[in-house]
Amino acid sequence: MTRYDSSGNYAPDSFSKYRRPRRPLSGWGLFIGVVLGIAGGLFYAWQVNPRIEFNTEPWQLNEADRANYMIGITLQYSYDGDLSTAVNRLLEMKLPGDPIQAVADTACRLATTGYVDNSSGVRAVRSLMVFYQLQGRKGCADTLVTLSDQLTPIPTIEAATPTLRPPATKTPTPVPAAQSSPTAQTVIIPTIRPQADFIVADVRTFCSTKFSGVIEVRVGDYNGNGIPATPIRVRWENSQSDFFTGLKPERGSDYADFQMDASKSYTVEVLGGSDPSQPLVAGPCTDPDNGQAAITSYRVTFRPA
């Protein structure tokens, strides 16, 4: 069987593209179209009609507002002394390099501008300074802004009164035969007994018609394991109630709760082992799930001091 046809041409191979039906679309045309389309789509989405800006994070702020946000962080730190929260917030700002040194640099920049022309600005810069100085950093603001409102005292120099040299005595001063060596002083460093075994680690409110006006107490150890049978005392007005953790095992061995009356103020403590909590007010609230009125409830967590 010959592969030459009647016209004498050599017949193409059965796998040749001349024997296959033509594809409806051109591969190259499709490829070029997709590339151009993606480029055009991205240009439109990023430049012509970008998504509306919302939910901006602190790291995206402009320089002036970033400085203001930083001042907010250090102002809160100056009140509550919570270094961990302050540093975490600074980290969220994605500051280049050492975030605490960035605070010092910001204070420096503000101290050299009109920002410190009023007392509010001076206070703000001072809060920045206190924060970074406590962390061992330095900045030019240290020399430009004082940390206190008091004026720097003007030193007074008292001229020394000249005294005449006493005339030499004819009799020499006797030299003592032996000098007693001083006894080394014993330094006693007092150890301070911990003031409390437990501290209030966290107080959170919640609003629920199911658990209305409840103080939920949890007591745990350093590892977060619950401590059962811990005596808890709740005080209000001239009354008090004592109970123990672990009496509701379905809620956990570290759990105890107390039902409050509306509009009264309560404190909770580990009996004989902690200071009382801040006042917990049984105020009105609205359950976010069903919109019904309820009494504010609290979750109080105690941890070892």
Write out the binding residues for other proteins, residues 76-135 only, by CB under 8 A.
76, 78-80, 89, 119-120, 123-124, 127
Tokens of 262: 């509306």
Say how far residue 291 (Cα) sits from the centre of its chain: 32
What part of residues 226-265 is at the interface with other proteins (CB under 8 A)? 263, 265
Q: Is 292 in the site for other proteins (CB under 8 A)?
A: no
- Give the residue with the Cβ less far from other proteins, 27 or 153: 27
Q: Is 283 in the site for other proteins (CB under 8 A)?
A: yes
Phi then psi dihedrals of residue 120, to 5 deg: -65, -40
Q: Using CA atoms, how far apart are residues 272 and 217, in angstroms rounded to an integer?
A: 16
Tokens of 245: 């953790």
- Give the residue with the Cβ less far from other proteins, 46 or 244: 46
What part of residues 165-204 is at the interface with other proteins (CB under 8 A)? 203-204
**Least distance in angstroms from the C-beta of 142 to other proteins:** 20
Q: Using CA atoms, how far apart are residues 279 and 217, in angstroms rounded to an integer?
A: 14
Q: Is 268 in the site for other proteins (CB under 8 A)?
A: no
**Least distance in angstroms from the C-beta of 210 to other proteins:** 13
**Least distance in angstroms from the C-beta of 198 to other proteins:** 18
- Give the residue with the Cβ less far from other proteins, 15 or 54: 54
With contacts defined by CB under 8 A, name the span among 102-110, 131-139, 184-192, 274-282 that binds other proteins.
274-282
Q: Is 296 in the site for other proteins (CB under 8 A)?
A: yes
Q: Using CA atoms, how far apart are residues 303 and 278, in angstroms rounded to an integer?
A: 15
**Contact (CB, 8 A) for 90 and 73:** yes
Q: Using CA atoms, how far apart are residues 28 and 200, in angstroms rounded to an integer?
A: 70
Task: Report which residue type is found at 268.
Answer: V
Q: How many residues does the chain have?
A: 305
Task: Report which residue type is found at 126.
Answer: R
Q: Is 60 in the site for other proteins (CB under 8 A)?
A: yes
**Least distance in angstroms from the C-beta of 219 to other proteins:** 19
Per-position b or e across 85-98, b if 16+ CB within 10 A of its CB: ebbebbeebebeee
Q: Is 276 in the site for other proteins (CB under 8 A)?
A: no
Closest CA to 83 of 131, 123, 126: 131
Q: Is the dihedral of CA 98, 101, 102, 103 positive or negative?
A: positive
- Give the residue with the Cβ less far from other proteins, 18 or 28: 28
**Least distance in angstroms from the C-beta of 144 to other proteins:** 19
CA angle (204, 254, 205) in 5-degree steps: 10
Site string for other proteins, 28-57 (x = CB under 8 A): xxxxxxxxxxxxxxxxxxx---xx-xxxxx
- Give the residue with the Cβ less far from other proteins, 93 or 227: 93
List 100, 107, 280, 301, residue binding other proteins (CB under 8 A)? 280
E-strand ranges in 245-283 read 255-259, 265-270, 280-281
With contacts defined by CB under 8 A, name the span among 23-31, 136-144, 187-195, 227-235 that binds other proteins.
23-31
**Least distance in angstroms from the C-beta of 217 to other proteins:** 15
Applying CB under 8 A, the site for other proteins has a residue count of 74
Q: Is 75 in the site for other proteins (CB under 8 A)?
A: yes
CB atoms under 10 Å from CB of 170, counted, come to 5
